[in-house]
Amino acid sequence: MSRVLVGVKRVIDYAVKIRVKPDNSGVVTDGVKHSMNPFCEIAVEEAVKLKEKKLIKEVVAVSCGPTQATETIRTALAMGCDRGIHVEVTGKDYESMGPLQVSKILAALAKREEASLVIVGKQAIDDDCNQTGQMTAALLDWPQGTFASEVTLEGDKVKVVREIDGGLETIKINMPAVLTADLRLNTPRYATLPNIMKAKKKKIANMKPAELGVDMVSRGPGGGSEGDILRGLLAVEQSSRQHGGLISSSRTHLHPAIVATDFHDSSSLKGYSETLSFTELIQPTGG
């Protein structure tokens, strides 16, 4: 019986239309609805399911960020996690926090909590990095089961069915291990109002990265002098789809062979059918 650590991230809600700040320094987050990253929900659900099957003893939800991150931890607790850990990262540190810093924190916590599994979402829908799970595994020197679409515990091993290009791959890895959840792993439950109320009784520990011995500075390749800090340079609005226009006649877009043909007289097309396939006839062959 063991413990599972689940990483959850607070992101702008998936249904919100993203706006870019006028100075192109990032996206507008003030007064915008936030919620738990959908892939993190899947990770939480998987951990809670393992607990319900009595395969593990405890599920701990971790989130790094400002005070509001506790809301996301609450949601995880309402979904069935036992307790939470809020690693408080604010201001400049939060702005420059990337997957590396988060994985350092997760790795330190996994050791401290003696976790036998770390489950995170495969990626967050805000930065789309898809790095945290992999780097956590590397820092811990644990095996990793990424893009999991099925997870089965088998004694001290875990069987993971992975979503890879063009199919599925099944691997068996030793525990402790790091897993990242893909979309089809499970169907996350809804955090209902009664469960949110009950979750208020659960404990959320608060700590700072320094307590875990984690350095939050985000360094570029030069090693960390002031001008060398990894940072976003430019955020721009996605170009919107061009408006469609009306065309005067569909005939001008057809293959000359058809244009030259009287549509009412199908017999006149016959001469072309031997040299042109149907698709060639309906698509202009350009040139």
Partner 1 sequence: MANPLRNEVLQLYRNLLYLGREYPKGADYFRERLKSAFMKNKDVTDPSQIKKLVDRGEFVIKELEALYFLRKYRAMKKRYYEYEQ
Under the criterion CB under 8 A, does residue 238 sit at the interface with partner 1?
Answer: no
| Minimal distance, residue 35 CB to partner 1, in Å | 9
CB 179 within 8 A of CB 198: no
Assess contact for 81 and 59: CB atoms under 8 A: yes
Of residues 47 and 85, the one with the C-beta less far from partner 1: 47
3-class DSSP state of 153: strand
Q: Is 5 helix (H, G, I), strand (E, B) or coil?
A: strand
Cα 279 to Cα 257: distance, rounded to the nearest angstrom: 12
Whichever of 15 and 234 has its CB closer to partner 1, that residue is 15
19-25's contacts with Cβ under 8 Å and 24+ in sequence apart are 19/237, 20/235, 20/236, 20/237, 21/235, 24/234, 24/235, 24/236, 25/232, 25/235
Length, in residues, of the chain: 287
Instruction: Tell me which DSSP letter residue 210 carries.
Output: G
Rg of the chain in Å (alpha carbons)? 26
Contacts of 51-58 with C-beta under 8 Å, sequence gap 24+, read: 51/4, 51/80, 51/82, 52/80, 55/153, 56/1, 56/2, 56/3, 56/4, 56/116, 56/117, 56/153, 57/1, 57/2, 57/3, 58/3, 58/4, 58/82, 58/83
Q: Which of 1, 15, 234, 247 binds partner 1 (CB under 8 A)?
A: 15
**Per-residue contact string for residues 268-287; x = within reach of partner 1 by CB under 8 A:** --------------------
Is 187 or 266 the residue whose CB approaches partner 1 more closely?
187
Of the two residues 78 and 115, which places its CB atom closer to partner 1 in the complex? Answer: 78
Taking CB under 8 A as the criterion, the residue among 14, 67, 231, 285 binding partner 1 is 14
Within 181-220, the residues that bind partner 1 by CB under 8 A are 183, 187-190, 192-194
How far apart are CB 146 and partner 1 at their closest, in Å?
Answer: 15
Asked if residue 233 binds partner 1 (CB under 8 A), the reply is: no
- Could you say whether residue 263 binds partner 1 (CB under 8 A)? no
Q: How far is the CB of 188 from partner 1 (least distance, A)?
A: 7
The residue (of 18 and 217) whose beta carbon lies closer to partner 1 is 18
Pair of tokens at residue 114:
């003696």
Residue span 102-141 as binding mask against partner 1, x where in contact by CB under 8 A, dash where not: -----------------------x----------------
Counting contacts by CB under 8 A, is residue 31 touching partner 1?
Answer: no
169 binds partner 1, rule: CB under 8 A? no
Q: Which of residues 39-78 bind partner 1 (CB under 8 A)?
A: 39
Q: Which residues bind partner 1 (CB under 8 A)?
A: 14-15, 38-39, 125, 183, 187-190, 192-194
